Amino acid sequence: MVNLQEPVETKLEKAVNSSDIAQEIYQLITELYPICRSITGDGFRKTLRILQQHIPLSVHEVPTGTEVFDWKVPKEWNIKDAYIKNSQGEKIVDFANLNLHVVNYSIPVHQKISLDELKSHLFTLPDYPDWVPYRTSYYKESWGFCLSHNQFLQLQDEEYEVCIDSSLEPGNLTYGEYFIPGASSEEVLISCHACHPSLCNDNLSGIAIAVFLAKRLSQTKNHYSYRFVFIPGTIGSITWLSVNEANVHRIKHGLVLTCLGDAGNFTYKKSRRGNTEIDEIVSYVLNNSGHNYKIIDFFPYGYDERQYCSPGFNLAVGCFMRSPHGSFPEYHTSADNLDFVKPQYLADSFAQCVSILHILDSNQVYVNQKPKCEPQLGKRGLYRSVGGQKDSGLNEMAILWVLNLADGDHTLLDIAKKSGMPFDDIKTAADRLSQTDLLKKEILQHKATTI
């Protein structure tokens, strides 16, 4: 746990940590919130159509029954309506008011049953009696309702009418993908699960931030190519990896984004390898963010990083979040709503992601072309800038550090960490030196950090 007393905010973070981006991200979450999503179905497709208004997603459909490693793509689930009526015909639980009221993937049912039988199909949260839980039944056919415990305690009639107007039939698993080509064919994967219904932090925060990251990257020149995937949790990443197995070797770095809108401290779950470039960069950014944060080791549970980091792929993919899953009481409940996530936290999370990807994309390796003693800077037009102009954008010590450590074995991040100087100062110095005969970019770029 680190608590820096004086935050170090880069110019880049200041540029993106604005009220405008905060409101734009929050507005997208607000638009997506009412939709009943699941791992398949029209709710997922509707979500992707909204995302297509922001970025040109390609939509892929994988048929039910398709073998994806040890799994099969399940039947497609859709729902139109659901309710519980009391003996007076009044709807006391109504899917139209809150889609969490139905156990996700419930099979269709319409019958009158006794209270005792109904109770075996009901789920509540006694410790939080006003909240409705989120429950699923993806791979075992059943049905059920979720309601507040206070609602449950009011059930007194001997008989109730239950109706779930749903379908579970052969169809497709849907996912969205957006590819931004860069100078290199090597790729950075940004992944988020888009299958949860009305849950803002665990689901929608990652989706919305990923969309605005994609919009930003589409407007810049990038070294890496970037691939954004919006998938159903677990089965979606398994399916994507199966369909794209021949090209997975192009993925050099990646992040799973989730739970980025609450007030909790930042948490980064490292890749399975634990010492990759993305792991080093996220640690560096958080260490210089001025925020409390935690870096945790990989463990084989959680979100889709566990599929990307499975031993057969072992990709350099970590998980970036604020409060981890299950660590806040609102997790998987109706309290994970539009009041739980805040625009300022979303904007802050977005800014940290921008910084991470900025450093990742800029973290080149260079070689000093005149390594024997310090070269003369004045005859290359660098002396005046270094010696007397504070606002020139150059830093004397940054230039000297770059020249000293540009030996083909150190990345710019290595130099920033070794020198204790901001990464952008080091990068600016390297960019300026590269315009002279003093510095050359190494052909073998983006080596692992060594310091």
Binding site, annotated residues:
196, 202, 332
Report CA 7 to chain centroid distance, whole Å. 24
Which residues are known binding-site members for Zn(2+)?
Answer: 196, 202, 332
Alpha carbon distance 350, 306 (integer Å): 23
3-state secondary structure the chain: CECCCCCCCCHHHHHHCCHHHHHHHHHHHHHHCCCCCCCCCHHHHHHHHHHCCCCCCEEEEEECCCEECCEECCCEEEEEEEEEECCCCCEEEECCCCHHHECECCCCEEEEEEHHHHHCCEECCCCCCCCCECCECCCCCCCCEECCHHHHHCCCCCEEEEEEEEEEECCEEEEEEEEECCCCCCEEEEEEECCCCCCHHHHHHHHHHHHHHHHHHCCCCCCCEEEEEEECCCHHHHHHHHHCHHHHHHEEEEEEECCCCCCCCEEEECCCCCCCHHHHHHHHHHHCCCCCEEEECCCCCCCCHHHHCCCCCCCCEEEEECCCCCCCCCCCECCCCCCCCCHHHHHHHHHHHHHHHHHHHHCCEEEECCCCCCCCCHHHCCHHHHHHCHHHCCCHHHHHHHHHHCEEEEEHHHHHHHHCCCHHHHHHHHHHHHCCCCEEECCCCCCCCCC
